[in-house]
């Protein structure tokens, strides 16, 4: 299960490029696991390392700079997470330690994958993202209040769907969310079993 997200104060690394696609986040050559682990080293590997497939850090890449070594948030451009629907992109971000991405817009599938894996996709206007990046200090993402704050008191509200918010606050994935309705599902099945017994082949006795 994902770790619940209530409030986080952390450094946000500015990666202010539009259309950062999932192949940039985790290139296909780095997808050597079918699970959620073993992917962090491949995160942004085409930008993070000097050579394709190598592991010599590119000093110019933001996550390799000392000020952002422990960043738990990213500031991105519009249409963040576009391209392939690969969930590995979110798994790589999560394993690296990213808990929130702030951007003007997200590819819908990527945003859904974020909420199912404990990462908050925060939508803010481009000028707000630029203002936060220019500040350079710690950023607070308060999911309960649906607010982003800086240390000097500047604050911005953000919208997020009720289901996505509940999943993030409670640390639920899609299956966990469904199980919250286990009693209603069981009641429906019991009633349906009476109304349409032929559907439940396992109940047929020889």
Q: What is the pLDDT along the chain (206 residues), one digit of tens a residue?
A: 789 999 999 999 999 999 999 999 999 999 987 789 999 999 999 999 999 889 999 999 999 999 998 899 999 999 999 999 999 999 999 999 999 999 999 999 999 999 999 999 999 999 999 999 999 999 999 999 999 999 999 999 999 999 999 999 999 877 777 777 888 888 998 899 889 988 887 755 54
Q: Which long-range contacts (CB under 8 A, 24 or more apart) does 123-127 make?
A: 123/158, 123/159, 123/160, 124/148, 124/156, 124/158, 126/77, 126/78
Q: Are 118 and 2 in contact (CB under 8 A)?
A: yes
Q: Are 89 and 36 in contact (CB under 8 A)?
A: no
pTM value is 0.88
Cα 126 to the chain's mean position, in Å? 19
Query: What domains sit in the chain, N to C, each tagged with a CATH number?
Result: 7-172 (3.20.19.10), 173-206 (no CATH)
Produce one character per residue of 85-116: b if its CB has 16 or more CB atoms within 10 Å, e if not. Answer: ebbbbbbbbbbbebbbbbbbbbbebbbbbbbb
Q: What residues pair up with 101 in beta bridges, in sequence order? A: 74, 121
Token digits for 190? 């019991």
How far is the first Cα of the chain from the last one, in angstroms, to the nearest whole number? Answer: 42
């Amino acid at each position: 299960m994902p770790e619940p997200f209530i409030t986080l104060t952390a450094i946000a690394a500015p990666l202010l490029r539009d259309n950062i696609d999932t192949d940039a986040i985790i290139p296909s050559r780095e997808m050597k696991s079918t699970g959620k682990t073993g992917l962090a080293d491949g995160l942004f590997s085409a930008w993070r390392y000097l050579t394709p497939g190598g592991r010599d850090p590119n000093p110019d890449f933001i996550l390799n700079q000392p000020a952002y070594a422990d960043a738990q948030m990213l500031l991105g451009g519009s249409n963040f997470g576009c391209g392939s629907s690969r969930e590995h992109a979110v798994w790589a971000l999560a394993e690296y330690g990213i808990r929130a991405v702030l951007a003007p817009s997200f590819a819908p599938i990527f945003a859904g994958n974020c909420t199912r894996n404990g990462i908050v996709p925060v939508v803010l206007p481009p000028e707000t993202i630029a203002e936060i990046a220019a500040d350079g200090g710690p950023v607070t993402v308060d999911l309960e209040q649906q607010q982003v704050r800086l240390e000097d008191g500047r604050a911005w509200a953000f919208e997020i769907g009720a289901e996505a918010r509940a999943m993030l606050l409670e640390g639920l994935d899609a299956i966990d969310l469904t199980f919250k309705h286990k009693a209603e599902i069981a009641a429906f099945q019991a009633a349906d079993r009476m109304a349409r017994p032929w559907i439940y082949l396992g109940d047929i006795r020889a």
